[in-house]
Chain A
Amino acid sequence: MLSFDVSLLLAGPYHEMLLAGLRLSLTLLAITLPLALALGTLVALLGLAPLAWLRGLALVFVESQRNVPLLAHLLFWYFGAPELLPEAAKEWLYGQSFEAIAAVIALSLYAGAYMAEDLRSGIRAVPRGQLEAARALGLGFLAAMRRVVLPQALRHSLPPLISQTLNLWKDTSIATVIGVGELMYQAAKVESASFRSVEAFSFATLAYLTVSLLITGLAAWVQRAYPPRAA
């Protein structure tokens, strides 16, 4: 058994590859998180809409995302969806590192569906009287939501939303499957190029764990700093 070679991780081409992977993983998280939050908010509001067909639409979206593995979503967006486009658009797409775009689409939709459910239950935790009182004071539905209901709902939803962020962080690793050069992809590449599996995987594991711990720490802090208020 070879001994653990730390120097490999501290400098040189393998170090560069692993760092590039970590940077891309963090970039994926930074791009998909706001997209997923925005989508989640939209779908959560649709799920509470007074019109049945809008609620149905939100339900179909959430269930179809949550009951299919992310890997199958990624394969669909990367291999399946482009076939629906005209030939010229397809060629253009595959010229644009399309794997990263497909990963952003799949991850945002998948995480968005989970976040929509957390936001919806947060909104439902705010007593109906809050919305009714806001409407009675003359605010429109959207203004009442934005100024009165959502700020309170967010306190209920923050802890589950942060744990969804943790899931999103871990899920970025699955983008490996369509060839996105993120951390897991680079770790596997370093492993096959150097046969230094322990070093490559230790680096990746530690990097994933560190970011996960930061997110968990954030969750603990938020729970203490912004506890749900009794209305």
Chain B
Amino acid sequence: MGFLEMIDTYWLYFLVGQYPDGPLGGLALTLLLATLGLLLALPLGLVLGLARICPWRWLRWPVTGFVFVVRGTPLLMVVFWAYFFLPSVTGHKTGQFSTMLIALVIFDAAYLAEIVRAGLQALPRGQMEAARALGLSYLGALRSVLLPQGLRHMLPSLVNQFAATIKETSLGYIIGLAEISFIATQVNTLVFTLPTQIYLLLGATYFVLCFGLTRLAYRLERRLAQRLHTP
């Protein structure tokens, strides 16, 4: 089988897996998993990031510990814990998709927490002090003064994090989730004679997505920097 014939036979399989006759897979599943993972991790990361710098020790210390533990552990370890322990917590078997999604949310939230923390700490101290002096409460000052400014600083990092999450979804392969790396390996087993081409195609697919996103992040960053430097 030649390369073009392989593409002709399997292109739909690469894109959506067995869908609509079976579960969704392939590139569509990779994108769905990355999007859902980041969207669900965002609120959790925001809360954890705020807790990391809040004035209350009883909240700051355990959250800081959690963030350090997750950042010091490989994502694969988090996936394994989720894979073997979610069933015993929830009482019923958890599918590969939910397992991977939960692992991604926990892992990404810890990284987003640091983005949020850095974004807020980059703001001048006077912002919080001025807001408090005007009579706003701590939470009120965060919500109406600091977060709107901090979130704008975080936008490029968030776009980069989306590219990182797309790369992270590839670990679904290890627990047998039919995302694009898994599908590529299945196609490779079926075709058998084109491993180099199939894995180059897999790499190229990820490249197009992630390179596009990291370029976008770079341009956002430049625009932000320009706006800051022009009065």
Contact of B185 with A72 in the complex, beta carbons under 8 Å: no
What class of interface size applies to chain A in its complex with B? 35 or more
A-B pair number, CB within 8 angstroms? 108
Instruction: Please indicate the chain A residues that have their CB under 8 angstroms from the CB of B170 in the complex.
Output: 69-72
Flag whether A187 is at the interface (Cβ < 8 A). Answer: yes
Flag whether B207 is at the interface (Cβ < 8 A). Answer: yes
26 contacts between A and B (CB under 8 A): A1-B88, A63-B211, A67-B163, A67-B211, A67-B214, A69-B167, A69-B168, A69-B181, A70-B167, A72-B181, A72-B202, A75-B184, A75-B199, A76-B196, A76-B199, A79-B195, A80-B196, A81-B196, A170-B73, A170-B74, A173-B77, A177-B173, A184-B74, A201-B77, A201-B81, A205-B81
Q: Which residue of B lies closest to A25 (CB)?
A: B74
Known: A63-B211, A80-B195, A191-B84. A73 touches B203 (CB 8 A): yes
What class of interface size applies to chain B in its complex with A? 35 or more
Instruction: Please indicate the chain A residues that have their CB under 8 angstroms from the CB of B81 in the complex.
Output: 201, 205
Instruction: Please indicate the chain A residues that have their CB under 8 angstroms from the CB of B196 in the complex.
Output: 76, 80-81, 83-84
CA distance A18 to B99 in the complex (A): 25
**Per-residue CB proximity of B66-97 to A under 8 Å, as 1/0?**
00010111111100110011001000000000
Flag whether B29 is at the interface (Cβ < 8 A). Answer: no
Instruction: Please indicate the chain B residues that have their CB under 8 angstroms from the CB of A176 in the complex.
Output: 76, 174
Measured CB to CB, the closest approach of chain B to A162, in angstroms, equals 13
CA distance A153 to B173 in the complex (A): 39
CA distance A67 to B75 in the complex (A): 18
Contact of B210 with A68 in the complex, beta carbons under 8 Å: yes
Q: Which residue of A lies closest to B204 (CB)?
A: A68
Contact of A208 with B199 in the complex, beta carbons under 8 Å: no
* Best-buried of B76, B184, B202, B206 by chain A (most CB within 10 Å): B76
